[in-house]
């Protein structure tokens, strides 16, 4: 077990806030290349039929540059685009935001508010996709059952564009 994640788990369990819901952690790797751009990252929840049930977050370049609008590159997150990105009118409050630097980032979904509030009991997958300009693309996913009966953490390591993702279910 990766020490860093063990530490995070301990930290998580010692945390005073036990809000029912889902805690998501994503670690963006430090990549040593001459031309580095922060990756576009999207996370969503899909069901067994791979239908998108909830947009969790979409991080992309918010400003236009001389290369055009930041939204131009959203389709590079191909799975996300296909599963629902192409239907999403961005920006969306609470979902879309600026790109993040390398490091660990946490997102909490509360059971008492959207999208979990309306998520029907069943089998789902959290999918996280990262696409980096002049870099690569990677998709990771974690299966889970909603609603949870006990606190449970699952983590999956990536290869290139995502170091790891972790999903903690809090009943």
**Contacting positions for another protein (CB under 8 A):** 68-69, 71-75, 78-79, 81-82, 86-87, 139
Closest CB 80 distance from another protein, rounded Å: 12
In the complex with another protein, which residue's Cβ is closer, 68 or 101?
Answer: 68
> Least CB distance from residue 24 to another protein, whole Å?
22
Q: How many Å apart are CA 70 and CA 133, to the nearest integer?
A: 11
Shorter beta-carbon distance to another protein: residue 86 or 108: 86
Query: Could you say which DSSP state residue 102 is in?
Result: S
Q: How far is the CB of 69 from another protein (least distance, A)?
A: 7
Nearest distance in Å: CB 150, another protein? 33
3-state secondary structure 46-69: EECCCCEEEEEEEECCCCCECCEC
How do strand 137-146 and strand 122-131 relate by DSSP bridges?
A: antiparallel
Between CA 141 and CA 129 the distance in angstroms is 9
Q: Of 4 and 72, which has the nearer Cβ to another protein?
A: 72
Give residues with Cβ within 8 angstroms of 152, minimum separation 6.
Answer: 168, 169
Nearer to another protein by C-beta: 82 or 160?
82
CB of 128 to another protein, least distance (A): 15
Q: Nearer to another protein by C-beta: 34 or 134?
A: 134
Residues 118, 112: Cα–Cα separation, whole Å: 9
- Cβ neighbours around 56 below 10 Å, total: 19
């Amino acid at each position: 077990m990766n020490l860093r994640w063990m530490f995070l788990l301990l930290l998580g369990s010692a945390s005073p806030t036990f809000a029912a819901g889902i805690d998501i952690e994503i670690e963006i790797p430090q990549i040593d290349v001459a031309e580095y751009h922060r990756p576009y990252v999207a996370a969503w929840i899909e069901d067994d039929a791979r239908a998108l049930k909830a947009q969790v977050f979409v991080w992309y370049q918010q400003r236009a540059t001389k290369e055009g609008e930041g939204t131009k590159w959203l389709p590079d997150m191909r799975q996300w685009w296909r599963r629902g990105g192409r239907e999403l009118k961005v920006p969306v409050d609470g979902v879309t935001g600026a790109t993040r630097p390398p490091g660990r980032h946490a997102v909490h979904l509360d059971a008492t508010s959207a999208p979990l509030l309306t998520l029907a009991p069943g089998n789902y997958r959290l999918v996280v996709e990262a696409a980096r300009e002049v870099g690569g693309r990677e998709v990771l996913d974690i299966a889970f059952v909603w609603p949870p009966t006990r606190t449970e953490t699952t983590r999956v390591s990536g290869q290139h564009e995502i170091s790891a993702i972790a999903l903690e279910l809090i009943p």
